[in-house]
Amino acid sequence: MSKIFDWQLVFTQIPAVLKYLPVTLELTAIAMIIGWIVGLLIAIVKIHNVPILKQISTAFVSVIRGTPIIVQLYLTYFGIPIALKYINYYYGTSYNVNGIPPIIFAIVALGLNQSAFDSETIRAAILSVEKGQVEAAKSLGMNGIQIFKRVIVPQAVTVAIPSLGNSLIGLVKGTSLAFTCSVVEITAQGKILAGNSYRYFEVYCSLAIIYFVLTIAIERVFTYIEKKMSVPEDVETEKKGRLPKKEGLSSELG
């Protein structure tokens, strides 16, 4: 009986898989940024109770959170061409999305998925800032943007960072589904390699190692950021806390 499990291959094929690491990172980074931006917008809409938009975002968030990413990838990558087929048929147009690189569909789907989860985190973080502080800032004459930048963001970010890190880790692993849109990232490359060697189990072990290391790296980065962010709380509160207020006051007066 020959080798059922080729443990050496688990390590020797890692470089071949890693060739596609940039694709995974690209998917993750761009989707993360989309997630934060759209998530922030949704959070603001919800907090400020903007009519209509609030309902739309609520529906959006619940649909996205209520369906698996793989289904969303299918819907974006294959749903849009189907919709266009109908549009072309009924309106005699000839839109064609086949020219758009598949990775864009994956990025958009992952980014929007991320935004739904991040929006709740961001909303909770913003709401965690005491109302009294906002009122105080107002009484000092700060305008909305100033309050947002100087009072809300520094505090909200500290609250949001752990959850955002959490969802980023989820996103890294979510990118492994991008192969459904024919985007070849590390998992897809693993499957392709195994298609040649028949060694699927070995490839999944290699992938486990890679994702694990990636996740640890992200965890570290976020722990570091968290530490940095939380410093003013105990030591330099007075100094840092006072400065912006003075500035705000003087600029308003000047």
Q: Name the site residues for another protein (rule: CB under 8 A).
A: 1-4, 20, 22-23, 26, 30, 38, 41-42, 44-45, 48, 50, 53, 56-57, 60, 72, 74-85, 87, 93-101, 103-104, 107-109, 112, 143-145, 179-182, 184, 188, 191-201
The widest CA-to-CA distance across the chain, in whole angstroms, is 86
Distance of CA 213 to the CA centre of its chain: 19
Nearer to another protein by Cβ, of 131 and 227: the residue is 131
Q: How far apart are CA 188 and CA 179, in angstroms?
A: 6
Shortest distance, CB of residue 253 to another protein, whole angstroms? Answer: 15
Q: Which is nearer to another protein, 14 or 193 (CB)?
A: 193
Closer by beta carbon to another protein, 85 or else 220 = 85
Minimum gap (Å) between residue 58 Cβ and another protein: 12
Q: Which residue has the tokens 């840092």?
A: 240
We find the least distance from the C-beta atom of residue 240 to another protein, in angstroms, to be 24
Cα–Cα nearest to 198, from 208, 210, 190: 190
Report which residue type is found at 160: A
Q: In angstroms, give the least distance from the CB of 162 to another protein.
A: 25
Give how far Cα 20 sits from Cα of 108, 186, 188, 202, Å. Answer: 19, 5, 9, 18
* Residue among 13 and 158 whose Cβ is closer to another protein: 13
**Residues listed for the chain:** 254
User: What is the nearest approach in angstroms of another protein to the Cβ of residue 153?
Assistant: 14
Distances (CA, A) of 148 to 151, 153, 162: 6, 6, 20
Shortest CB 161 distance to another protein, Å: 22
Q: How far apart are CA 139 and CA 130, in angstroms?
A: 15
Neighbours of 139 (CB within 10 A): 8
Which residue, 87 or 231, is less far from another protein as judged by CB? 87
The residue type at 22: P
HSE of 113 in the Cβ direction (CA atoms, 13 Å)?
Answer: 31
- Comparison of 236 and 252: residue with beta carbon closer to another protein: 252
Q: Name which of 34 and 159 has its Cβ closer to another protein.
A: 34
Work out how close the CB of 191 gets to another protein at its nearest, in angstroms, rounded to a whole number.
7
